[in-house]
C-alpha cells in the first residue's frame, strides 16, 4: 500500500472517530443541561469529566494526523530533491 493511500485511509478513519466523539460530546452536553434544568447536579461533574476526556482524545487524534501529514510532506520534498 502506498503512503498516499495510507494517509487517505488514516484520515478517513480518524475523521469518523472524531465525528463520533463529537456526537457523544453533544449528547453529554444535552444530558448535562437537562440535569441542570431538573436540578439534579450529581450528573454534571461526570459529564464534564467525560467531555474533557473526549476533547483530549480528539486533540491527540488530530495531532497524530497533522504529524503524519508533516512526515509525508517532508518525505515527498526529500524524494523530489533526490530526483534533481
What is the distance between the alpha carbons of residues 48 and 29, in angstroms, rounded to a whole number? 8
Residue 28's pLDDT is 95
Question: What pLDDT does 25 receive?
Answer: 94
Block residue for cell numbers 483530549: 56
Mean pLDDT score, 18-25: 93
Q: Where are the domains of the chain?
A: 3-83
How do residues 27-46 score in pLDDT, each as one tens digit? 999 999 999 999 999 999 99
> Is the pTM value of this prediction over 0.85?
no
Contact between 32 and 72 under an 8 Å Cβ cutoff? The reply is no
Confidence of residue 83 (pLDDT cuts 50, 70, 90): low
Residues ≥6 apart with Cβ < 8 Å to 25: 51, 54, 55
The pLDDT assigned to 14 comes to: 87
Amino acid at each position: 500500500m502506498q503512503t498516499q493511500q495510507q494517509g487517505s485511509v488514516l484520515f478517513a478513519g480518524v475523521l469518523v472517530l472524531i465525528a463520533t466523539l463529537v456526537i457523544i460530546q453533544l449528547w453529554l452536553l444535552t444530558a448535562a443541561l437537562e440535569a441542570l434544568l431538573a436540578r439534579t447536579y450529581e450528573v454534571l461533574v461526570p459529564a464534564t469529566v467525560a467531555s474533557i476526556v473526549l476533547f483530549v482524545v480528539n486533540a491527540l487524534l488530530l495531532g497524530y494526523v497533522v504529524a503524519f501529514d508533516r512526515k509525508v510532506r517532508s518525505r515527498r520534498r526529500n524524494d523530489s530533491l533526490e530526483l534533481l
